[in-house]
A = this chain, B = another copy of it.
Amino acid sequence: MIGKLNHVAIVVPDLAAASAIYRDTLGGDVSEPVNLREHGVTTVFVNLPNTKIELLHPFGDDSPIAKFLENNPSGGMHHVCYEVDDILAARDKLKADGARVLGDGDPKIGAHGKPVLFLHPKDFCGTLVELEQV
Residues in chain A within 8 A of chain B (CB atoms): 1-5, 8, 10-13, 18, 21, 24-28, 48-51, 53, 55, 72, 74-77, 80, 82, 93-94, 97, 99, 121-127, 129
Identical chains in the assembly: 2
Which residue of chain B is the closest to A12 with respect to CB atoms? B125
- Cβ contact of A28, chosen from B2, B12, B55, cutoff 8 A: B2
- Cβ contact of A25, chosen from B27, B53, B97, B126, cutoff 8 A: B97
A107 to chain B, nearest CB (A): 17
Set of chain B residues within 8 Å of A121, measured between Cβ atoms: 74
User: In the complex, are the beta carbons of A125 and B75 less than 8 A apart?
Assistant: yes
Set of chain B residues within 8 Å of A10, measured between Cβ atoms: 125-127
Set of chain B residues within 8 Å of A53, measured between Cβ atoms: 5, 80
Contacts A1-B26, A74-B122 known; 5 new A-B pairs at CB < 8 A: A3-B49, A77-B77, A77-B80, A77-B126, A77-B127
